[in-house]
A and B are shown apart, each in its own frame.
Chain A
Amino acid sequence: MYDCAVIGEGLSGLLTAIWLREEGRTVALAASGTGKIVQSSGLFDLIPGSDAGMERWMQLHQLDDAAPGHLEAAVDRFKATAKAAACPYAGDALHAATVISGSGRLKKTGLYPVSVLPVSGAEKITVVGFDGLTDFQPAFVAANLGRDLPHADVKHMSIDLGLQTQRTLTQLDIARQLDDDEALRQRIMTVLSEKPTSAGADLLVFPSALGVHSWRDLMTGIGTPMTEAAGLPPNAAAFRLYRGLRQLAVRLGVRFYLDATVFAADDEGGRVTSVRYRSGGREQALAADNFVLATGGVLGGGLEMLAGACRETALGLTVDGFGRPLETPANVWTTGAACGLQETIYGITGGMYNLLSVYRTVGAVMRMKEGSVSHA
């Protein structure tokens, strides 16, 4: 019997589990597969696909006046968590940073891994790609970047890593090759220091592919200021965060139930006593005092779009057309994209909303445990 069972292994699920465990609760995490975090860019945007600020964000999510304060606290806590997960983040809640995307177009973001450097007055920029990495074309990225930064001198180059394959290489494939092969990392550093295109640059732009765990060696070794530009998934930066949070959760003692598809709940007097999950062809029950639904929205699989309606897939909660639960058992909370379609834009909530949502969910679960209040 756990204090809390979290369902879902995306950003919301992992963070909820970690933060509750840090508060001394016993926590189980059940997930059917890897969360959508691995298909993300690894950046924490305020409003997905938009440069608008805090005011608009609060309107979109219909937030109360306490939200900015809670977000700041959530950001501080997340930064500490990310650092503990060996995947440190920079940026802050109130000031957006401008970063380079995998298309070369600039975008605004809130928090970013330290392998990403916001754009700030660089004049000689070189975009560096790798031969065979179809998903990141340095010529295309450089041309777009040149359009968005008309005063910068943007060049591009490609490094041959000698990789041969018949299938399409992703950024994560390259990252894993670099992790496995120190000679490859050395080759990159040598080429960059020898070629005039890169040696003279004051900012180097790479795909999000500089190793899952060897990225720090590369960054230090290269010396020149550099940034990773996240593009077509999978991006190494997103995978680093996923991996780091997962390892941290394990270290902290979160108990993982993997390949566990939660499909129903057992109710008793308006409370859920256990959830039922399918794993390896068998059906089992997972009992806990509290349950957090971090199953994601439509993209994450927590909600399913039907013709003109929505279905909640894990507990079978009754939901409205947006996937918002109409009646939630007293000890069940939804967090992140699982809160409903009205919190998502282009299918996602944006990392900043996730942080606020998890922060508040964890607070509510804690208060519930202390017996003071039930959730609103």
Chain B
Amino acid sequence: MRTIVETDVAVIGGGVTGVGVLRDLALRGIRALLIEQGDLGHGTSTRNHGLLHSGCRYAVRDPEAAAESYHENLIIKRTVPGSIEKTGGLFVKLPEDEDGYASNWLASCRSLGIPVSEVPLAEAFAAEPLLNKRAEAVYAVPDAAVDDFTLLVDVAADAVRRGAQMLTYHRVRQLLVQNARVTGLVCRDEASGEETEVRASIVVNAAGPWEKQIAELAGLPFTLINNKGMLVVFNRRFNHRVINRLRMPGDGDIFVPAHDVTIFGTTGINVEDPDDTSLERAELEGMLAIGRALIPTIDQLRIIRAYSGSRPLYQVDSVADGGSGRNVTRGMALIDHEERDGLGGIVSITGGKLTTFRLMAEKTVDLVCAKLGSSASCQTADVAVAGRRTQRFETSRQLSPAARTKLGSWAGLHAPDIAKQLNDKAGAQTICECEQVTWAEIQAALPPDGHFRLGDIRRRTRLGMGPCQGTFCQFRAAALAVKHRKVTAEAACRSLQRALAERKKGMAVVATGETAKQLQLMEAIYRVSLGLKEEEEIAHV
């Protein structure tokens, strides 16, 4: 027995592009359903720098992408305020960086209208003490830090509030084709195995690195380069503004301050498998060697974790560039398969950047509307997503001061729900001390489908993202979930085993010094003291 759902537009992919499309459709009053194989944003959308580009990075190589980025930078700051920290950014020219590039860059930024101002060196060094004192010139740009986790869930939640629907942990198995038209799709609930048939007038393929696989379900040729980049998280936020290197974009030249940490990256290696998020020590070492130019003390700073994600880069022709992937456009590609391949009812949107997700959605939905015969216009540049600041917890005496501060800038629309949970003594208990996550917050983040997954909770609350990488809090959260009858002990242990393997993966590659110690402590506690054996993990995962 298959459930049959009818909608106007089916959106495949719960990354930032997919949820952007979903919200745009909802704001135009078009029925839409999003299908995602895992949790929202388990892919590229949360595996990046968290940088809201000012466009300056692309000013020389790709002025069009630069202009788009700056335009969107201003819109996103206004329309998703809860996920943006207006840190500003710096571009730093070192003696070894080409003079010619810097002058071209400056001229291009000016002609694009991106506000760039030179910062006196003494002022830059005072503001950013770890910056290389050999810097020759420093320019301030309107870069910002974006929390991609909150951005994604907030945009998705706003779409749902406006009537859109979502099916997460549903994998698309089949595209339904009739008379040279895609008429819908079949997806399967990864937990129960149950299938759902989605009938839609248009299918939007926004699956990111998995886009080629989706296209191939309908026999559509699709050339996509998945370009994997590695990033690392430092244990503290050592820069106030985003620090970029003023040269032709390359590896290891961006440091982004994010909440209490700094994120540094990245690299670019083409990979076949979109699920390839492997991490190599050699890649890390290479990146650190480059990063040393901007932050000479980089080797003395503690890295708590590494991760990687793939940029889906679209190629117009099917000839591989054979290069790094950095020469392929960072711009977006919207493909009308009816026009290109003679198959109606499906469009693909790929390429682009986190910064330009809204614009990608707008262009996609414009095309969808044209096909549906709708004249509704885009509203996402004007209608804001609810922010996250709240004064509701300023007087919550049962909370520790740090937890109070966190909720004040984090709770957003969950505030009433969290406040209700805080009435119970157990709700105010701090579960994750690194990130000050209370049980009330975890409860508010539990999905309505009844599935307990520590990874989903982490993406919504920052549980386990701090220096101890979930050593204490993941166990506490799992045990409390059993106590509160949210999950069985067996499923809780399974989720713990998965979370442990996932945390270990990101720690192992950077495990020197204190992080090596932390990883051993985590393993000793779980594998030895708590008796959660590794063999069982292999059996379950």
A95 within 8 A of B: no
**Which stretch, B16-24, B134-142, B215-223, B489-497, touches the partner chain A?**
B489-497
Residues A107 and B531 in contact, CB atoms below 8 Å apart? yes
How many residue pairs bridge A and B at CB < 8 Å? 135
Residues A139 and B483 in contact, CB atoms below 8 Å apart? yes
Residue of A nearest to B484 (CB): A139
Residues A101 and B516 in contact, CB atoms below 8 Å apart? no
Residue of B nearest to A304 (CB): B513
Residues B489 and A346 in contact, CB atoms below 8 Å apart? no
Give residues of chain A (313-363) contacting chain B, Cβ–Cβ below 8 Å: 344, 346-348, 350
Interface of A is mostly: loop
Residue of A49, A141, A143, A167 touching B528 (CB-CB under 8 A): A49
Residues A134 and B480 in contact, CB atoms below 8 Å apart? yes
Interface residues on chain B, size class: 35 or more
The minimal Cβ–Cβ distance linking B300 to chain A, given in whole angstroms, is 12
Given contacts A166-B400, A231-B529, A307-B512, contact A134 B429 (CB under 8 A): yes
Interface of B is mostly: helix
Residues A45 and B528 in contact, CB atoms below 8 Å apart? yes
Contact with B along A20-63 (1 / 0, CB 8 A): 00000000000000000001110001001110000000000000
B161 within 8 A of A: no
**Which stretch, B171-179, B229-237, B245-253, B519-527, touches the partner chain A?**
B519-527
A105 within 8 A of B: yes
Contact with B along A283-313 (1 / 0, CB 8 A): 0000000000000011101001111100000
Give residues of chain A (93-116) contacting chain B, Cβ–Cβ below 8 Å: 101-107
Given contacts A41-B528, A137-B480, A299-B521, contact A49 B534 (CB under 8 A): yes
Contact with B along A118-161 (1 / 0, CB 8 A): 00000000000001101111111101101100000000000000
Residues A103 and B488 in contact, CB atoms below 8 Å apart? no
A297 to B517, CA, bound (A): 9
Interface residues on chain A, size class: 35 or more
B119 within 8 A of A: no
Residue of B nearest to A309 (CB): B512
Give residues of chain A (65-114) contacting chain B, Cβ–Cβ below 8 Å: 101-107
Residues A48 and B521 in contact, CB atoms below 8 Å apart? no
A364 within 8 A of B: no
Residues A232 and B511 in contact, CB atoms below 8 Å apart? no
Residues B525 and A232 in contact, CB atoms below 8 Å apart? yes
The minimal Cβ–Cβ distance linking A119 to chain B, given in whole angstroms, is 12
B482 within 8 A of A: yes
- Which interface residue of A105, A147, A344 has the most chain B CB atoms within 10 A? A105
Please list 19 pairs of residues, one from A and one from B, whose beta carbons are closer than 8 Å in the complex, sorted by A's number: A39-B521, A49-B523, A49-B533, A50-B533, A102-B529, A103-B531, A105-B531, A107-B531, A131-B425, A135-B475, A137-B476, A137-B480, A140-B483, A144-B493, A166-B430, A231-B475, A232-B472, A299-B520, A348-B520
Query: Which residues of B line the A interface, CB within 8 A?
Result: 281, 285, 398-400, 425, 428-431, 433, 472, 475-476, 478-480, 482-483, 488-490, 492-493, 511-513, 516-517, 519-521, 523-525, 527-534
